[in-house]
Amino acid sequence: MVTRAGIVVTGTEVLTGRVADRNGPWLAEQLRRLGIDVGHVVVVGDRPDDLRATLSFLAGLGTDLLITSGGLGPTADDLTAQVVADFQGRPTAVDPALEQRVAAVVERLMARRGWRADPEATAAGVRKQATVPDGATVLEPVGTAPGLVVLPADGTDGPPVVVLPGPPGELQGMWPAALAAPAVRALLEGTTELHQRTLRLWGTLEAQLAATLREVEPELGGLEITTCLREGELEIVTRFSPDAEATYDRFADVVTDRYRDTVFSTGPTLDELVAQALGDHGLTIATGESCTGGLLSARLVERPGSSAYVLGGVTAYANAAKQQLLGVPAELLAEHGAVSPEVARALADGARSRFGADVGVGITGVAGPGGGSSGKPVGTVHVCVVGPDGVRERALRLHGSRTAVRERSVTMAMHLLRELLLGGPPA
Amino acid sequence: MVTRAGIVVTGTEVLTGRVADRNGPWLAEQLRRLGIDVGHVVVVGDRPDDLRATLSFLAGLGTDLLITSGGLGPTADDLTAQVVADFQGRPTAVDPALEQRVAAVVERLMARRGWRADPEATAAGVRKQATVPDGATVLEPVGTAPGLVVLPADGTDGPPVVVLPGPPGELQGMWPAALAAPAVRALLEGTTELHQRTLRLWGTLEAQLAATLREVEPELGGLEITTCLREGELEIVTRFSPDAEATYDRFADVVTDRYRDTVFSTGPTLDELVAQALGDHGLTIATGESCTGGLLSARLVERPGSSAYVLGGVTAYANAAKQQLLGVPAELLAEHGAVSPEVARALADGARSRFGADVGVGITGVAGPGGGSSGKPVGTVHVCVVGPDGVRERALRLHGSRTAVRERSVTMAMHLLRELLLGGPPA
């Protein structure tokens, strides 16, 4: 039997896009791994009617489990606990022991930050956060807000509702306790974990791949395949129950055979491949960036343990900085301009020699919206990667916003790094 | 009368979080500005039943307008046009003129990328993308996929459905055409644009603010106020129709008066304030980053026109790089360690002098998960900002993931910059 869940993310700040929703995707991924199928992630504002209607809609689809995030704070627009209590037909009351625990947490937090607050206002907030539906399982606060698992009132039907806080750190910290709650554990016992595998291609058109999928479809029973194009990379993500492992292997063989010129990974992400290759070969790296302004460097440093191979980088935005910090010759800048293959190479060489790194990367371009010319329009970017045994370079004409041009340039630099370090499909 | 819209974002890759949804928030914001209220943003996978159920749910809530994004690609899992046609009771057919236009776009795209593809597969994809519901308004492709505005079949009731492509650049490029479609224009004529204003606080507890809001609530008729805590900043966002302008002004006065020590902006974001201040004072800036690895530099460069004041930055991840590229004395590193207020200051000074900038910023810390010690646990970060007339520095003990520690450190550096350049509430 397929166990299905629905996720409800509350908060006007999420609905209006002021804060990006990180909880819906995170919860969907956790549930998928547990073999629970997620059909909908619904974002609603801080309005009781909208939340209530959404819970009814998802329950009406035959969903086995509902999860909410957000709306557990101390302010009046935080109303999830009350709406869920009503939905499940349960009265609410203050839990005095919980009230004390929350009060202690709030006190510690304020002391640490050295903030002052009106004691009465603080107490009202704490009391609100400790108001829980009758019979609910309380999940201990990770921040200040407790979570809840609320079953339908006795004699009524419907899925349990797991109520989690909005801050991603609190929600994720509370997740193990939510899974351990009896009602959730009982659901999980009936499900089989699904596997997920990913193939990554660089340089194949989605329509071309679609034709291949249609052709081999009759042999793919038991595989749920989705394709997705992201920053020029085509991802094929497949989910299957453990008994379809052999079917998946056959499918992966067909794809990697037909697209051997473009499949660059049968699992790891581009960033994982590059980090692994640098580590395996014992190589260090340094960057010289102009238009990307440190984005590549920040992307490399994002990985834990990157200090083993990242020596650093220079954002040389001004021409004087290119000369002084990375030794780009003034004549080169004068002759070819800052946005040129020659300067990309000089930035890579300069980063390499100034940091004493094995591998250097240079990026220079016109990210826009201003600064373009007829010969070098916005989106013109030169990327160069220099290693102990070779060089890879690429001239790009990118479309889109300043942010898009910068991100795509960094992705291209990562692909050039992959090609230089690992061979395989050309970047 | 309030005009209400519902947004449906399709795509298994969005539902599972492989791709972050940027369309729901963007559309919600556009609609809000037009005075249209958005109650729900629903993310569904590539399953016809789930999409159909969602359209019915939102239409059943009395929604006046439905907007979908995604599912218009050439592959079999792109099924939005067909499901919407069924939902509105309209048959579909290939539009031959549209087919030719889409084919021309695809051909250009492939030529530019130098990709090869099977002509038959490509033609099948094009035909699928040119298959439209009878009587629909076609919105010309921005990428390869046309959009649609589909009304209910004659004699039936319900809201129009605007069908837009998934790639954010295509969706945004098509938006003006969607607004110009007769059915959408008719809806817009009946609505009043809403104003939105934001107050930003740094250092006030949300519960404290909630108490103030409860107290002044009786005087706030016509204001829709939401508060949101983000990276330590408290945002108060208020929406109101133009005739409530004076009420809002009174409210803003009360808040800025009571919280004069923490309100740092009555509108602009932190990044806008810092950029504006650098420009107004004619100051240049350079950065010296360790644990943040270029994130601050990338954040500063993200703004168009930043080349006027950002000279560059050094990511000095290795100690040797700190010495050689930013002149941090070896003795200082030996005596205090790389993570120390002294080294943060030396990084700021070094960035300032090496780039010849007016303002220098230094950040050094333990982002984790490894590298912590009892004296300097993970989350220990030192930030220092040095300008022509002063210095601001701060020692932090941050909680959370590597990413959270790095982002929070950069935000603190931005607040120190604001304080140094503009005075106002302490960072």
Q: Which CATH number characterizes residue A339's domain? A: 3.90.950.20
Q: Measured between CB atoms, which of B124, B125, B311 is closest to A318?
A: B311
CB contact (8 A) between residue B370 and residue A324:
no
Taking contacts as CB-CB distances below 8 angstroms, the residues of chain B near A118 are: 208, 211
Structure confidence at residue A5 (pLDDT): 95
Boundary (domain end) residue, out of B216, B243, B265 = B265
Q: Is beta strand A390-397 parallel, antiparallel or unpaired with respect to A380-387?
A: antiparallel
Q: What's the pLDDT at B427?
A: 74
B169 band by pLDDT with thresholds 50, 70 and 90: confident
Identify the pLDDT of residue B194. 80
| Beta-carbon pairs below 8 A across chains A and B | 336
User: Do B293 and A310 make contact, defined as CB atoms within 8 angstroms?
Assistant: yes
Whole-prediction pTM: 0.82
Q: Could A325 and B320 be called an inter-chain contact, meaning their C-beta atoms sit closer than 8 Å?
A: no
Q: For residue B222, what pLDDT is reported? A: 84
Mean per-residue pLDDT of chain A: 91
Q: Say what the pLDDT of residue B116 is.
A: 66
Is residue A351 included in any domain, yes or no?
A: yes
- Answer yes or no: do B26 and A17 touch at CB < 8 A: yes
Pick out chain A residues at pLDDT < 70. 1, 112-117
The alpha-helical segments, DSSP class H, found in A130-265 are 168-180, 182-189, 206-216, 245-258
What CATH number does the domain containing B242 carry? 3.30.70.2860
Q: Are residues A278 and A173 in the same domain?
A: no
Considering CB atoms only, which of B32, B42, B205 is closest to A40?
B42
Distances (CA, A) of A394 to A344, A345, A417, A422: 9, 10, 12, 17
Residues A179, A219 within the same domain: no
Amino acid at B359: V
Give yes or no: residues A216 and A114 share one domain: no
A56 Cβ under 8 Å from any chain B Cβ: no
CB contact under 8 A, B325 and A354: yes
| Cross-chain residue pair B325–A369, CB shorter than 8 Å | no
Question: Percent of chain B beyond pLDDT 90?
Answer: 67
Residues A43 and A147 in one domain: yes
Q: CA-to-CA distance for B51 and B8, rounded, in angstroms?
A: 8
Mean pLDDT of B284-297: 97
**What's chain A's Rg over C-alpha atoms?**
27
Residue A168 lies in a domain: yes
Q: Could you tell me if A292 lies within 8 Å of chain B, comparing CB atoms? A: yes
With CA atoms as reference, the chain A residue closest to B26 would be A17
| Residue ranges of A 113-172 with Cβ closer than 8 A to chain B | 113, 115, 117-118, 120-122, 124-125, 169
Do residue A312 and residue A227 come from a single domain? no
pLDDT for A40 = 94
pLDDT, one tens digit per residue, over B195-251 is: 889 999 998 877 788 888 888 887 888 888 888 877 778 999 898 888 999 999 999
Name the band, by pLDDT with cuts 50, 70 and 90, for residue B112.
low
Give B69 to chain A, closest Cα distance, Å. Answer: 15
In a domain, B202, yes or no: yes
The predicted structure's pLDDT at residue B113: 61
Q: pLDDT tens digit string along A259-300?
A: 998 999 999 999 999 999 999 999 999 999 999 999 999 999
Which of these ranges, A186-190, B134-138, B383-387, has the smallest mean pLDDT? A186-190
> Is B427 within a domain?
no
B130 — pLDDT class (breaks 50, 70, 90): very high
Best A9, A105, A226 member to test B by mutation, with max B CBs in 10 Å, is A226
Closest C-alpha among A137, A126, A139 to residue A96? A126
Query: What is the mean pLDDT of the segment spanning B50-62?
Result: 94
Q: Is A28 found in the same domain as A129? A: yes
For residues B274 and B379, state if they share a domain. yes
Asked if B307's CB is within 8 angstroms of A371's CB, the reply is: yes
pLDDT digits (tens, 9 = 90+) for B244-271: 999 999 999 999 999 998 999 999 999 9
B50 and B175 both lie in a single domain? yes
Of B43, B76, B356, the CB nearest to A40: B43
Q: Are residues A167 and A41 in the same domain?
A: yes
Q: Which residue of B has its CA nearest to A126?
A: B207
Residues of chain A with Cβ-Cβ distance to B260 below 8 Å are none
**Is the residue at A293 inside a domain?**
yes
Q: Is B308 on the interface with A (CB under 8 A)?
A: no
- Does A353 contact B at CB distance below 8 Å? no
* Predicted local distance difference test score (pLDDT) of residue A153: 94
Q: Taking CB atoms and an 8 Å cutoff, what residues of chain B touch A312? A: 314-318, 321, 325
Same domain, B78 and B208: no
Cβ within 8 Å, pair B205-A122: yes
B12 touches A: beta carbon within 8 Å? yes
Judge whether B364 is closer than 8 Å to chain A, CB to CB.
no
Same domain, B164 and B199: no
B61: domain CATH number? Answer: 3.40.980.10
Q: What are phi and psi of B115, to 5 degrees?
A: -95, 155
In this predicted structure, what is the pLDDT of residue B225? 86
Chain A residue numbers with beta carbons less than 8 Å from the beta carbon of B18 are 25, 228, 230, 235, 237
Query: Are A167 and A30 in a shared domain?
Result: yes
A283 vs B: CB within 8 A:
no
Domain boundary, last residue among A234, A265, A296 = A265
Which secondary-structure segment (H or E) carries A350?
A: helix A341-355
What is the model's pLDDT at position A112?
66
- A427 within a domain of the structure (yes/no): no
A408 vs B contacts (CB less than 8 Å): none
Q: Which residue segment(s) compose the domain that B97 sits in?
A: 3-189
User: Domain total for chain A?
Assistant: 3
**Residue A341 lies inside a defined structural domain of this protein:** yes
User: Which residues sit opposite A391 in a β-bridge?
Assistant: A386
Q: So what's the pLDDT on residue A116?
A: 66
Looking at A265, A280, A297, the residue that finishes a domain is: A265
Phi first, then psi: what are they for A384, rounded to 5°? Answer: -140, 135
* B301-332 per-position pLDDT tens digit: 999 999 999 999 999 989 999 999 999 999 99
